[in-house]
Amino acid sequence: MRISSRIWIVIAAGIAAIIALTVWYFYFKENGEGENGNTAMGASATYEIELSLNERDEFQIRTVIEVANETERPFDDIGFYFVPNALNSDETPDLPQEAAETAISSIKVGDEEVEYELENNELLVELAEPLEPGEKEAIQVLYSLALPENGMRLSQDGNNFFLAQWYPMLAQFDNGWDIEPFDMDGESYHTGFGDFRIDYQLPREYLVASSATDGEVKPSVSGTLEGDRIKDFYLALMDPEEWIHETVSVEGAELRLFMPDDPELLEESAVMAEAAYVFFEERIGDNPFPELDIVGNDGYMEYPNIIEVATTWEALDSVLVHEIAHQWFYYIVGNDPFEDAWIDESITEFAASLFLSDYYGDEEYGFSSAEAAANAYRQEKYANLPLDEFAGAQYLSTVYGAAPLTLRNFFEERGGQEEALQFLSAYYREFQFDYVNTDKFKQFFEAYFEGDQSGFLDSWLK
């Protein structure tokens, strides 16, 4: 080979490398894609729901969901999570609770009845015509629903109804509808911010608490609930005879507490809720929603603008504060709880521990829930595994234990809790009403701190 042709080969190889790098750079920048996939939802929805409850404790539900295609390619079908269909032992073997009973009677697109596939919690609605990029289509689903007695999320407890994950929730589209099988170990569904209008009809009066702004607490038999930018809409219908309530006004929001008949527990929960809400509002950032409902039904669970908390004195503060912190991390800063459960759970537990440390002036107590979780079981090295890759209790020990403690230890050498709160505040400002995955978190962390942080980050995030 002659020298001149070698030079040409080197130049050609150089040009090819530059083109490849440019394509790679723009492809990843455009798609925000890393090993955890895209954080864009690809579709958005407006939900109009009519719900009626009959004397036999059965709901009849009509949902009209207007879906917008936000991708660059047409949709041949529309994918939803329909969790009630997975809540039976045929779909979820070893289901550790009673089954839900649900039956879809019709699905229409426009006025036309259409075919659909329903398996586990995956509902795929066929479209006669593809839904083009930028276009919208209304999907109507009619179904009946009876709730599992004392279920884990979706639940009926006597004459009280806790409607969680109860309607078809639009899934993420990322080269296809991204719908994971139902998994009771954590939250296996991912749905985006949507706008809601819900009309309800009830056979007798109930106290209503929901993801919407419900206003003054009073029993009702019918009404309309409306709310925008809500991730998954939760609705509680409570027997007025069984609950006492109190409303506390804090900075720009009403905290509405509902507890079983225990005035002392209600009072203590109200004091703690106010302190935690004010702390997160002032130290992390403004929560733009005007109302947070707090229901003492031992659900230990967060939903947009409403949480389920403890009725025991031992669990009162740790559960209440954790679920309140979730309004900032899970709701307003969103993430896929199947792929990256740590993003909401570990950061929430870290923020809750910072509040409790500050409130009691005792860091050991503040982080005691995280310590207990970490010591409960052998931990995984990496916190950012998908839900189905954790072996049982490793999910708890790693995501609720090891990861928040890792963050605490990092900040101990970096200005302590003040610096930690400033970091969380900057993170919250950056990602409000957006979705974060591990890659985005790492990029933000690297940009926030001086110097290379990859050694620290790679030691616990794959």
User: Rule CB under 5 A: which residues touch Zn ion?
Assistant: 345
Closest CB to Zn ion among 125 and 292? 292
Phi, psi of 366 (to 5 degrees): -55, -40
CB 346 within 8 A of CB 404: yes
Shortest distance (Å) from residue 153 CB to Zn ion: 13
Which amino acid appears at position 434 of this protein?
D
Nearby residues of 123 by Cβ (< 8 Å), 6 or more positions away: 79, 80, 81, 82, 85, 116, 117, 141, 168
Closest CB to Zn ion among 102 and 353? 353
Chain position whose Cβ is nearest to Zn ion? 345
Closest CB to Zn ion among 151 and 299? 299
Taking Cα atoms as reference points, which of 288, 292, 277 lies closest to residue 332? 288
Shortest distance (Å) from residue 323 CB to Zn ion: 7
Phi, psi of 259 (to 5 degrees): -135, 155
- CA–CA distance, 3 with 160 (Å, rounded to integer): 85
Shortest distance (Å) from residue 302 CB to Zn ion: 6
42: alpha, beta or left, given left = phi > 0 and alpha = psi -120 to 50? Answer: left
Place of tokens 């403004």: 286
- CA–CA distance, 425 with 347 (Å, rounded to integer): 12
Shortest distance (Å) from residue 322 CB to Zn ion: 6
Using a 10 angstrom Cβ sphere, with 0-12 exposed, 13-18 middle and 19 or more buried, the burial of residue 452 is: exposed
Closest CB to Zn ion among 140 and 346? 346
SS3 state of residue 332: coil
Nearby residues of 346 by Cβ (< 8 Å), 6 or more positions away: 383, 399, 400, 403, 404, 407
Shortest distance (Å) from residue 342 CB to Zn ion: 11
Shortest distance (Å) from residue 181 CB to Zn ion: 21
Closest CB to Zn ion among 61 and 399? 399
Shortest distance (Å) from residue 345 CB to Zn ion: 5
Closest CB to Zn ion among 63 and 369? 369
Closest CB to Zn ion among 118 and 347? 347
Buried b (16+ CB within 10 A) or exposed e, 128-150: eeebeeeeebebbbbbebbbbee
First vs last C-alpha separation in the chain = 46
Shortest distance (Å) from residue 55 CB to Zn ion: 36
Residue 128 Cα to chain centre, angstroms: 32
Closest CB to Zn ion among 60 and 368? 368
Shortest distance (Å) from residue 344 CB to Zn ion: 7
- CA–CA distance, 390 with 379 (Å, rounded to integer): 9
Q: ∠ CA 7-11-14 to the nearest 5 degrees?
A: 140
Shortest distance (Å) from residue 379 CB to Zn ion: 17
Shortest distance (Å) from residue 14 CB to Zn ion: 51
Which residues make beta-bridge pairs with 307? 294, 302
176: alpha, beta or left, given left = phi > 0 and alpha = psi -120 to 50? Answer: left
DSSP state, residue 84: G
Closest CB to Zn ion among 51 and 154? 154
Closest CB to Zn ion among 293 and 345? 345
SS3 state of residue 307: strand
Closest CB to Zn ion among 118 and 319? 319
Phi, psi of 167 (to 5 degrees): -135, 165
Closest CB to Zn ion among 340 and 345? 345
Shortest distance (Å) from residue 159 CB to Zn ion: 28
